[in-house]
Amino acid sequence: ARDWSISRNRFWGNPIPVWKSDDGNHIEVIGSLEELEAKCGQKVTDLHKHFVDDLTWPSPDGKSTMRRIPDVLDCWFESGSMPYAQLHYPFENQEYFEKHFPADFICEGLDQTRGWFYTLTVLAAGLYEKPAFYNNITNGIVLTAEGKKMSKSERNYTDPMELINQYGADALRFALMSSAVVRAEDLKFSEEAVKDVLKGLLLPLWNAYSFFVTYANIDSYEPSATNHADLKNPMDQWIVSATARLVENATAAFDAYDIQKACSYFIPFLDELNNWYIRRSRRRFWRGENDEDKKQAYDTLYHALMTFIKVAAPVIPFTVEEIYQNLRSNELPESIHLCDYPVYREEERNFILEEQMALTQKAIALGRALRAAHTLKIRQPLSKLFLVDRNEHEREVLASMQESIAEELNVKSVSIEADETALITYRAKANFKLLGGKLGKDMKEVAALIQELDSKTIARILDGGVYPLHYSNGTIDLGVEEIIVQRSEIEGVKVINDGTLTVGFDTAMTEELLDEGLMRDLIRAIQNLRKESGFDVTDRIMITYEGDDKIHDVFTKFESIISDETLADEITSKPLGGEALQLQEYQVRLELKQV
């Protein structure tokens, strides 16, 4: 770095404490207020330039007068002196300063690289031969969505207070802290990023919290804890393990001052909590009886929620405080921000179960993506799901979880296979680029023979096998490099693949499957109407409907299931007025009354 001129010829600023004799033979640097008063012989109450400039005294040889030089300190010298000046060190707080210097971290914008970061470092190095800080969280510049500098005169940005009033401070805070702007990169900011936080983080968190509170109030649940070793349900064991993993990962990221990485763990955890744990466990909360399994479900969900809000407290402080105030028991600290940060406990981890659930979730995610790609709505049951995995251990895991997979993907049966022959037919072509130089004039004959290979032979080659192909002038070993494979779905089967896992559906429809799909659509319509009508989740109802023969047949055929799912004590049919609902190609009118 170039030499730094610390003096400025200005009026406002900290006067440089240097006095020089009029004849230039003597210079004195004053080190304290006490020293200055001793030199000038008067009480000093104001250190501004227009006061201290009047303070003089005879030079050491008595031949001249000592006067302060006219310059003031560069303001960045003052900023760089912050660690010492804020504590009035070395005149006070010596022990505190020595314990806390250097600072654990500082935080400022990238534009301070040649400003505050530099001056802090230069002064600390000059005074103590050490840095002024150990870590630096450096933010980039927040730009408009078009990448332009935000300008007050152009008003090319939304007032932050408008965003806070509309979406909440936590949404704006997380949108920034989870972005690359906290890693010294510029950010093209848009309001959509704040909206995404609402949809992806805050609403899912509130939904999980609301689910817990709703049923905890119904059952008069009092916060308690079940030791992780005593949990019997695999879903409880898994979410406790996933919660411990969240603590481990977020703590490591925060300790490394990697704010963006810490934030990256929040949304995936809430997705697991809502869309896997609560979704798979909700019937345990719905049950009327209060048994040990139900208590363990409550204890587990309470533990997961309380741990998450403590982990997320530094980033979304207002939302988690609101939740904490309703979940805390009297013996807990008054505020979540007075709680200890969660400590990682490896004994709560179940790595085998985490692996099993991850593979299960992958299979379900692929299945849902496949349904969406072919407009096969999840409420429509399908006859068969194929899971193909060449890894034997993974097949065993999928087999152990097939009941959950079948329920999530709404299929009647699951077939787990080691190869794709039940789903896919293979055709092979010769890799002319690779084989042409080796075979010369025999290339045409070998290419024709390769096209005649059957699916099973090609499958064995894809699995890493080698197939000896005999032709007129010899034999050539065929591996995956020598052939180009084309995959075709078997008629009526839809397939998707990711790595070693292939998922397929038999999409053939029967009258029974179609009826069950319509039944699920009816249940969804009734549940939506319950919600719109303002019924509590425990309210019993009477259902009256009007529809054509198919609607009547489905209500009759599935009356028991519909009653259980919608808490209906009675289902009757009669003419109704009002707007009809369109369910598939059928229309139905519904009326609900509270019992």
Percentage of the residues of the chain whose pLDDT score is greater than 70:
100
Question: 129: Cβ–Cβ under 8 A, 6 or more apart, which residues?
Answer: none
Output phi, psi for 282, to 5 deg: -60, -30
Q: Domain ranges in the chain?
A: 7-73, 76-139, 191-349, 352-421, 424-489, 511-594
> What pLDDT is stored for residue 1 in this prediction?
66
pLDDT at 111 over 90: no
CA–CA separation, 173 and 324 (whole Å): 19
Identify the residue whose tokens are 């000896």. 468
Does the pLDDT of residue 174 top 80, yes or no?
Answer: yes
How high does pLDDT run on average in the chain?
92
Q: Are 2 and 39 in contact (CB under 8 A)?
A: no
d(CA 169, CA 414): 47
Q: Which of 154-158, 296-300, 306-310, 475-479 has the lowest mean pLDDT?
A: 154-158
**pLDDT score of 335:** 96
Q: What is the mean pLDDT of residues 517-542?
A: 93
pLDDT, tens digit, 9 for 90 and up, residues 381-406: 999 999 999 889 999 999 999 999 99
CATH fold for the domain made of 511-594: hypothetical protein PF0899 fold (3.30.2320)
What does the longest C-alpha to C-alpha distance in the chain come to? 119
Helix boundaries (H) for 134-227: 160-167, 169-177, 191-197, 203-218
Q: What is the pLDDT of residue 302?
A: 96
**Contact call for residues 520 and 526 (beta carbons, < 8 A):** no
- Residue 137: closest CA among 255, 259, 253: 259
In this predicted structure, what is the pLDDT of residue 363?
95
pLDDT (mean) for 100-118: 90
Instruction: Give the pLDDT confidence score for residue 346 in this predicted structure.
Output: 95
The pLDDT, as a whole number, for residue 186 is: 87
Distance of CA 524 to the CA centre of its chain: 29
For the domain made up of 191-349, give the CATH fold.
Answer: Isoleucyl-tRNA Synthetase; Domain 1 (1.10.730)
For residue 184, is pLDDT > 80? yes
pLDDT band at 290 (very low <50, low <70, confident <90, very high): confident
Q: Do 523 and 387 meet the contact criterion of CB atoms below 8 Å apart? A: no
Token readout for 529 is 């109407």
pLDDT in tens, 329-379: 999 999 999 999 999 999 999 999 999 999 999 999 999 999 999 999 999
Mean pLDDT, residues 522-536 taken together: 93
What value does the mean pLDDT take over residues 555-570?
94
Q: Which helix (H) or strand (E) holds 496?
A: strand 493-498
**Contact 345/240 with Cβ under 8 angstroms?**
no
Look-up: residue for tokens 């919660």?
Answer: 243
Q: Does an H or E element contain 475, and which?
A: strand 474-478
Task: State the DSSP H helix or E strand holding residue 484, giving kind and residue range, or none if neither.
Answer: strand 483-489
Q: What is the pLDDT of residues 26-63, one digit of tens each?
A: 999 999 999 999 999 999 999 999 999 999 999 999 99
